């Protein structure tokens, strides 16, 4: 069974502190396990995942994705000039994500960021499939 690359990308996009996604090789579906404070089925889901051998593959988590690194790469690859300099200043210190987004909107370049981010997520998804030994289809 091949996993659809979009399914992995969706899991990457939805990664957060409270939920972890798993690929279920038996059903081909994504199973979400929340932390014990958010997920009413936490114990049930955790037991199923723990006792099912190689049935479940954990999708990349927020910590595997490194959103800040993606922002840095975007800025590093942005054409030289005043906008790049402002983006470089925006991503340093407390509130970097908010300042970065504000700068994107101020210059009307948010679509460039979304395109760059989408490609980064796709590459993370492809790398995850390869690392896990899973075949994928676009």
User: pTM of this prediction?
Assistant: 0.87
- Which pLDDT does position 40 carry in this prediction? 55
Instruction: Give which of 66, 62, 55 is closest to 23, Cα–Cα.
Output: 55
- Tokens representing 132 are 């896990």
Strand order of the β-sheet with 30-34 is 30-34, 19-24, 56-58
CA 77 to CA 84: how far, in whole Å?
A: 9
Per the listing, tokens 């798993």 go with 22
User: Which are the contacts of 126, defined by CB distance < 8 A and separation ≥ 6?
Assistant: 5, 136
| pLDDT tens per residue across span 18-56 | 788 999 999 999 988 876 555 555 567 778 888 888 899
């Amino acid at each position: 069974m091949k996993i659809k690359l979009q399914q992995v990308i969706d899991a990457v996009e939805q990664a957060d502190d409270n939920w972890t996604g798993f690929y279920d090789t038996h059903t081909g579906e994504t199973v979400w396990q929340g932390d014990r404070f958010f997920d009413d089925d936490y114990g049930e889901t955790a037991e199923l995942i723990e006792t099912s051998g190689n049935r479940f593959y954990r999708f990349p988590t927020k910590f595997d994705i490194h959103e800040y690194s993606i922002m840095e790469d975007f800025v590093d690859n942005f054409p030289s000039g005043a906008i790049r300099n402002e983006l470089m200043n925006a991503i340093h210190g407390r509130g970097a994500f908010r300042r970065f987004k504000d700068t994107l909107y101020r210059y009307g370049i948010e679509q460039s960021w979304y395109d760059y981010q989408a490609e980064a997520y796709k590459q993370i998804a492809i790398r995850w499939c390869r690392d896990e030994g899973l075949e994928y289809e676009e």
